[in-house]
Amino acid sequence: MTQTETGRARIEEAIAAGYAAAQATGGGKNADYIPFLASVPPDLLAVAVVTAEGQVFKTGDADYAFAIESISKVFTLALVMEAIGASAVHEKLGADPTGLPFNSVIALELHQGKPLSPLVNAGAIAAASLVAGSDAESCWASILDNQSRFAGRPIALSPEVNSSEQATNFHNRAIAWLLYSAGTCYSDPMRAVDVYTRQCSTLVTTVDLATMGATLASGGVNPVTKERVIAGDHVAPILAEMMMEGLYTSSGDWAFNVGLPAKSGVGGGILAVVPGKLAIAAFAPPLDDAGNSVRGQVAVAKVAEILGYNLF
Ligand code: DON
């Protein structure tokens, strides 16, 4: 076997082991506060790896399209960082874990309405308010274009997921008004929530997620399309945000056990990045109490362990 073939065989073995470990794990429950998510078949399971050279590995339901949800926060953060720079993002959106649930109002109130992280709802709504555009439609167009460039294919909104979320996002609207009253929402607050809700309602496959992560792993260049999507300098601060708050109240446990920057979504997706090497993504709808995919975490952790990747 050539060195390349050995590398391929190792990754194939790792995703098969990740899939098997996840399949042997039970527990968790689909998110049901967004009605659409409760209806997704809970047994779906997928694992994918995309390398910084653009090789794609997948197993299970890896082409099933599901709602990106909070994983979108990473890519809107990247878009805003391109527009206003890393220091302004740091100053306006923060880079600390909140230690509280992803949609916590208390976290916001404890810090005079300043979101601590762009990866919790408050910070993500503030980030959506910073996307350049004269109205919701132009902001939305650039978010969708950005997600598509990270994924290397046209990403689309699910009208069904979006209607389900727009009809039930009262808590997020309250967060937006709190931000606005503190001067930390930079557009009309209802426009910011509308755009944020749409960005959570796009459909991605596990392979899309791994490709989006691989774009971060390869310094901001999509390794499949070869397009530079973001500045190389912005990758490290984005990964730092993922390390600190990507799995919400489990971020510390994840750092302790797995040691890779990651991000989860209540749709059941999870994405981890190994800088310079590859990205690992998994999808399985049932979530733990923190809002992270139970089997997705097991799968990603197993793949990382087998491939010997832990930043620490
Ligand atoms: O704002 C919300 O509640 C959802 N659209 C996204 C939340 C989410 O994915 C949290 N992640 N685990």
pLDDT in tens, 87-140: 999 999 999 999 999 999 999 999 999 999 999 999 999 999 999 999 999 999
Q: Which two tokens stand for residue 28?
A: 């968790």
Q: Does the pLDDT at position 2 exceed 90?
A: no
Work out which ligand 1 atom sits closest to the CA atom of 70: 9
Q: How far is the CA of 70 from the centre of ligand 1 (A)?
A: 5
Mean pLDDT of the chain: 97
Q: Does the pLDDT at position 174 exceed 90?
A: yes
Taking CA 287 as the corner, what is the angle to CA 211 and CA 121, rounded to the nearest 5 degrees?
70
What is the per-residue pLDDT across 183-220, written as a single tens digit (0 to 9) for each?
999 999 999 999 999 999 999 999 999 999 999 999 99
Q: Which two tokens stand for residue 127?
A: 């980030």
Specify the pLDDT at position 5: 81
Specify the pLDDT at position 4: 81
Overall average pLDDT of the 270-279 stretch: 98
Least confident window among 31-35, 148-152, 248-252, 261-265 = 31-35
What ipTM, to 2 d.p.?
Answer: 0.97
Specify the pLDDT at position 6: 81
Overall average pLDDT of the 46-57 stretch: 98
Is the CB–ligand 1 distance for residue 245 below 6 Å?
A: no
Residues in the chain, total: 312
Specify the pLDDT at position 287: 97
Specify the pLDDT at position 3: 75
Inter-helix orientation angle 72-84/121-130, to 10°: 40
**Phi and psi at residue 213, to the nearest 5°:** -70, -35
Is the CB–ligand 1 distance for residue 291 below 6 Å?
A: yes
Is the CB–ligand 1 distance for residue 193 below 6 Å?
A: no
pLDDT level of residue 178 (50, 70, 90 thresholds)? very high
Whole-number Å distance between alpha carbons of 213 and 206: 11
Specify the pLDDT at position 196: 98
Work out which ligand 1 atom sits closest to the CA atom of 33: 3
Domain with CATH 3.40.710.10 in the chain: 3-69+203-307, 71-200
One of 2.40.50.140, 3.40.50.300, 3.40.710.10, 3.40.50.2300 is the CATH number of 71-200, namely 3.40.710.10
Overall average pLDDT of the 294-304 stretch: 98
Inter-helix orientation angle 86-93/72-84, to 10°: 120
Q: Which two tokens stand for residue 199?
A: 């960005």
Whether the CB-CB separation of 49 and 282 falls below 8 Å is answered with no
Using CA atoms, how far residue 157 sits from 59, 104, 177, in Å, is 25, 26, 25
Is the CB–ligand 1 distance for residue 235 below 6 Å?
A: no
Q: Place domain 3-69+203-307 in its CATH homologous superfamily.
A: DD-peptidase/beta-lactamase superfamily (3.40.710.10)
Is the CB–ligand 1 distance for residue 69 below 6 Å?
A: yes
Q: How far is the CA of 10 from the centre of ligand 1 (A)?
A: 34
Q: Does the pLDDT at position 1 exceed 80?
A: no
